[in-house]
Each structure stands twice: as C-alpha cells, then as structure tokens.
Structure 1
C-alpha cells in the first residue's frame, strides 16, 4: 500500500495521476469497496467522506473495519490511498468534526504503520516519509 497525505487542494490527486499514468488505474472518491474493480492500481481518495457515514463514536471499530478492508483490497491489486491531513493542532468546535478529526488521526497512524510507502504532498511537492 502506498499512502499520500497532505492538506486539501495541495496537489495530491494530480501527483498520483502522474505517478501512475502508465497503469490501468481506477480512482474512487469517498468510497471503500469490499471488492476491488478490475485494474492494476486502485486509488481511493477522500476516505474521510466515507468515514463521516460511519458511527465515529465507535472509532476503534471503524479503524479495524478499514484496515481489514484495505488488507483484502491489497490482495487484489496495488492499492494507493490519498488522505487529507485534518489536524495541524486545530480543534473543531463541533463534536462531529472533532470525532472525524480524531478518527482520521487514529486511522492514519494505523495505515501508515501498514503502508510500504508514505508520502506527504505539500503544494505539489512530494516528501517521502516512509
């Protein structure tokens, strides 16, 4: 698994498209499929859109669900995740926004631990973290 992280509108999607332009790539936006579509590279972006549809009060269960699904998808094709950095020390006032930020933080830690590569994109520039 290859994970790209960065702020909103920092060029993550364009970077990934350029990186995998010679591959048969399928890009899903805000979806977490149980079965990968036929492709060489499956790119899932905006995972946080899927997260808001879940019960974030049970964040450990949500994280485990995502990890299990990701492991299944990795067996079917090369998996690339594009995630948005939501933290940066800002604590949202709304409870749901705080739950989303906290769940994303826990999920991203787990994903980064499992990932082969982690890259931060900052205004189109890539920085290899792992």
Structure 2
C-alpha cells in the first residue's frame, strides 16, 4: 500500500498517474469497490467522499472496517491511495465537518502505519515521508 497526501489541487492524481504509467490501472474516485478489479494497480482517491456516507459518530468502527476492506483489495492489486490533507489547524464550525476532519485524521494515521510508502505532494512535487 502506498499513500499520497496533499492539499486540494496540489497535483496528487497527476503525480500518481505518472508513477503507474505502463501498468494496468483501475481508478476509483470517492467509492470503495465491492470487489477487487482486475488490474496491476488500484488507485483509490478521495476516500473522504466515501467517509461522508458513513456514521462518523462511530469513527473507530468506520476506520477499522475501511482498513480491513483495503487489506482485502490489496490481495489482488497494488494499492495507491490518494487522500486530501484537510487539517491545517482549521477547526470547522459545523459538527459534521469536524467529525469528518477528525475521522480523516484517525484514518490517515492508520493508513500511514500500514503503508509501505507515504508521499506528501506539494504542487506536483513529492516528498517521501516513509
């Protein structure tokens, strides 16, 4: 599992797509596939969109479920996960927005622990963190 993180519109997808050129790639945007597609590399982006559809009041359960699902998907394809850094010290006024930010933070921590590689993207330039 490889995780790529950066701010919105910082070139994460372009960076990843350059890395996987020449491979059979499946891209999922904001959804978690029910089954593993036939591919060399599965790119999952905007997991935040999927999280919004979940009960964020039970974020530990949501994060555990997602990690289990990702490990299953990883059995058939190399996973490249693109996530958006949404913290930056800003605390949203709305409760749901705060729950999403907090759940993303917990998810990202878990992903970073599990990941073989973590890259921060800053305007198209990758900085290897792990």
Which bracket does the TM-score occupy, shorter chain normalised? Answer: over 0.9
Q: Give distance in 2, aligned partners of 1:36 and 1:47.
A: 16
Judge conservation of contact 1:42–1:79 (CA < 8 Å) in 2.
Answer: yes
Q: Residue in 2 aligned with 1:99?
A: 99
Judge conservation of contact 1:26–1:42 (CA < 8 Å) in 2.
Answer: yes
- Partner of 1:75, secondary structure, is coil
Any residues of structure 2 matched to 1:1-130 within 5 Å, and which? 1-130=1-130
Judge conservation of contact 1:2–1:118 (CA < 8 Å) in 2.
Answer: yes
Gapped runs of 5+ residues in structure 2? Answer: none
Q: Once the 2 structures are TM-superposed, how far is the Cα of residue 33 of structure 1 from its aligned partner?
A: 1.4
| 31-40 vs 105-114, greater mean Cα deviation | 31-40
Superimposed CA distance per residue, residues 75-102 of structure 1 (whole angstroms, 9 cap, x where no aligned partner): 1110110000000100000000000000
Q: Give distance in 1, aligned partners of 2:115 and 2:35.
A: 19
Gapped runs of 5+ residues in structure 1? Answer: none
How high is the TM-score relative to the length of structure 1? 0.99
Number of equivalenced pairs:
130
Judge conservation of contact 1:34–1:72 (CA < 8 Å) in 2.
Answer: no
How high is the TM-score relative to the length of structure 2? 0.99
Q: Once the 2 structures are TM-superposed, how far is the Cα of residue 34 of structure 1 from its aligned partner?
A: 3.2
